[in-house]
Amino acid sequence: MVFAALGGFTCSICAPNSMVKVEIEDFAATQFPGRWESIDKSKLKMGSPTPNPCNQAPDRRTHWFMMWVDSR
């Protein structure tokens, strides 16, 4: 998986298509402790709907947009 932190309160994760939401959120928490939630950016008027297919390996990977919810 690829993890990219964006300002400490959002992040992006590129993960295998076989992974589900809870697995992605748990992985984010291993990178930065706290509770992360997968968010559809389009509902926040922040771009295209997420999760979405990876632009480099759409048949194998998915991009997830995450927001930090709170510390654990």
Is the peptide bond between 51 and the residue preceding it cis, with omega within 30 degrees of 0? yes
Report how many domains make up the chain.
1
Note the pLDDT tens digit of each residue in 6-65.
677 888 999 999 999 999 999 988 888 889 999 999 998 988 999 999 999 999 999 999
Structural domain span for residue 23: 2-70
Q: How far is CA 6 from the centre of its chain?
A: 11
pLDDT of residue 58: 93
